[in-house]
């Protein structure tokens, strides 16, 4: 018998709390069943496995977060670099206000259990497809802002935009390497230095590194 949507969401929310408190590896199916108020057999019947339930929990987290982080249009900002900076700050602020969400995302994407690596890889692809239209619209808005920048003569707009994206990807990878625990999300000193360095790199892209005399 299929689960009613409301009942399913209650089960997922209960299991979310267990995964956050204990982590994937230390969470048993019995613990999940007890928290959800159903039998282990029903956990397997409705979700298939602990892995699939964990991925379902992650997807529900994304479904809650994505609309909130995309309420504002990037074109509300007058400057491309301001919009880029504010988008990053808004994401960090959201994660700091939702420490449980931050904790489960940290485990899933920055400290992925070995037995979940394949599933997380597939989940990333699924989320890219699911939110592809939203992300494409966001990218289009950013491009509109970027096209307002007065580039030097001979500079190709698409190549310049690609260079900015290369810098952004470098800092995304740097973040992945340096976020060694979820508590660092609340370290003001770390984020101050992180954004200071990122903006320094973007300023070099924007204004150049050579002094013209």
> What would the pLDDT profile of 123-137 be if each residue is shown by its tens digit?
999 999 999 999 899
Specify the higher pLDDT residue, 181 or 79: 79
Nearest to 182 by CA among 23, 63, 75, 8: 23
pLDDT for the residue 57: 97
184-210: average pLDDT: 90
Domain boundaries in the chain?
Answer: 1-69, 73-108+135-207
Q: Model pTM greater than 0.75?
A: yes
Percent of the residues in the chain that have a pLDDT greater than 70, as a whole number: 96
pLDDT tens-digit readout, 75-109: 888 889 999 888 888 988 998 899 899 899 999 99
Instruction: Please determine, looking at this structure, whether the domain spanning 1-69 carries the CATH number 3.10.20.30.
Output: no
For residue 73, what pLDDT band results from cuts at 50, 70 and 90?
Answer: confident
């Amino acid at each position: 018998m299929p689960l009613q949507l409301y009942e399913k969401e209650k089960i997922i929310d209960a299991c979310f709390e267990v995964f956050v408190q204990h982590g994937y590896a230390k969470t048993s199916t019995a613990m999940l069943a007890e928290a959800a108020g159903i039998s282990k057999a029903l956990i397997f019947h409705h979700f298939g496995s602990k892995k699939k339930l964990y991925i379902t929990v992650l997807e529900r987290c994304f479904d809650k977060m994505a609309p909130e982080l995309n309420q504002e249009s990037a074109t509300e900002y007058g400057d491309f670099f301001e919009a880029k900076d504010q988008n990053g700050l808004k994401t960090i602020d959201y994660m700091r206000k939702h420490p449980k969400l931050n904790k489960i995302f940290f485990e899933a994407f920055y400290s992925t259990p070995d037995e979940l690596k394949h599933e997380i890889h597939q989940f990333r692809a699924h989320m890219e497809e699911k939110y592809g239209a939203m992300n494409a619209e966001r990218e289009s808005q950013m491009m509109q802002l970027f096209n307002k920048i007065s580039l030097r003569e001979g500079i190709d707009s698409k190549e310049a935009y690609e260079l900015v994206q290369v810098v952004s990807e470098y800092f995304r990878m740097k973040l992945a390497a340096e976020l060694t625990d979820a508590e660092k999300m609340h370290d003001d000193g770390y984020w101050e230095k992180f954004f200071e360095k990122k903006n320094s790199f973007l300023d070099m892209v924007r204004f150049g590194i050579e002094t013209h005399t």
